[in-house]
Amino acid sequence: MSNNNTNTVPAVTYISNNVNDTIPISGGAGENYIKTDPFLTKLSPNKYLSFPASNSITSGPRTVSFTANTLGSTKHVYTSLYQTDIKLLAAYFADFGFSYQITEAPTFTISVDVAWDDITDEDYTISEYASEQWEITPVAGSKSLVYSGLLPNPFLPPTAAGNYQVMPLTLQSAVQRANKTGGNYLNITSSLTPTEKAQYANYVVTANTVLQYLKLGVEGVPQYTQTIKRTAVIDVHNSQGAFQREADIFQSELNAQGTVNYLLSAKDMLRNYAIPGNTVANFMMPSYSKVLGVPNIDPIVYEVYAGYLVQPPSISFIGLNKMQITQNFVWDEFAAGMFYIVSPQSDFPLVYSAS
């Protein structure tokens, strides 16, 4: 093979005062000034193919591309007058799992995309800062109209005082039954005591409004949750220790105890992970708690906690020497008892209690 990558820089000889002397160029006489193509002496990993031994194959300049998301890659270009050489090169590089492009012309050209940087070898010096990326994605959903309730005055925001009116559980069931059986209006029955009638009377307007919405086809309240995605592109040795924080070790310990999913508060997300403070952190959903059900009317009331459900990481190979690790954190309101809440209760201030 004719390979320009083995050229060396000679020393320049000159005469000074009738004495021969030399001066080195580019670092010294005989120094390699273009790095040798590593595939000239490398066997392919599966079929143990050698680089084709043909004097007709000529190599062109190599091009390295490097980004924090994809790490390094190198484009090798080889040319030959003979199709046989190109076929041998294609079989050789295909055994590595590399992609290539062949151009047919009076001179054949094959461009090979090598999955690593074979000039500067920067693939293995990436920093964790460069490798971990954070993304926020809103997720559209819907909450049941019956269970979420209504605002008596839509221009006043919900407060801990409870101006977001949620019906007692018995009225929620009555509204669903009336909608199913064709009922048009709910009224207080005579079977209730005067005290019970007074308690339920406050919710009759809300119950009938919800019933009319259901008959009009409005069954849910549109809402958005949020997914935070954590991604790292690493070398196969994970030399910089991405996804090796104390929180990651803690997750493995919880998984070993049978707790696969658990909740974190927004504060704990910021405490445990290197989330960029002035960008992603500013747009994270907050953590809080709510009491659902009506005290002194419903036999049981329950709490919901807004936080981030921690999902296990997923790992995929994106090259022979690179992997991508992805982990999602899903924000939503979760009923108490569904998941283990790692964060302290003080991270979930009460923002709403039914009245």
* pLDDT at position 83: 93
**Within a 13 Å sphere around the CA of 146, how many CA atoms are in the beta-carbon half?**
16
* pLDDT at position 229: 95
d(CA 157, CA 159): 6
Instruction: List Cβ neighbours of 174 (8 Å cut-off, separation of 6 or more).
Output: 186, 207
* pLDDT at position 260: 80
Higher pLDDT, 272 or 4: 272
Distances from the Cα of 311 to the Cα of 229, 265, 304, 314, 331, angstroms: 10, 14, 19, 9, 11
In 10 A of CB 300, how many CB atoms?
Answer: 6
d(CA 337, CA 250): 21
pLDDT tens digit string along 162-184?
Answer: 566 788 888 888 899 998 888 88
Higher pLDDT, 269 or 71: 269
Listed range (9-13, 193-197, 267-271) with the worst mean pLDDT: 9-13
* pLDDT at position 299: 82
Beta bridge partners of 113: 75, 99
pLDDT tens digit string along 86-124?
Answer: 999 999 999 988 999 999 988 999 999 998 888 876 665
The answer to whether the beta carbons of residues 300 and 354 sit under 8 Å apart is: no
pLDDT, mean over the chain: 82
Distances from the Cα of 97 to the Cα of 65, 90, 120, 300, angstroms: 18, 11, 21, 61
pLDDT tens digit string along 242-292?
Answer: 888 888 888 888 888 888 889 999 999 999 998 888 888 999 999 999 887
* pLDDT at position 288: 93
End-to-end CA distance of the chain: 85
Asked whether residue 2 carries a pLDDT value surpassing 90, the answer given is no
H or E stretch including 31? strand 31-32
Percent of the chain at pLDDT exceeding 90: 34
H or E stretch including 314? strand 314-319
Beta bridge partners of 153: none
d(CA 117, CA 71): 8
* pLDDT at position 7: 45
The answer to whether the beta carbons of residues 64 and 51 sit under 8 Å apart is: no
d(CA 306, CA 338): 12
Percent of the chain at pLDDT exceeding 70: 81
- pTM reported for the whole predicted model: 0.67
Asked whether residue 157 carries a pLDDT value surpassing 50, the answer given is yes
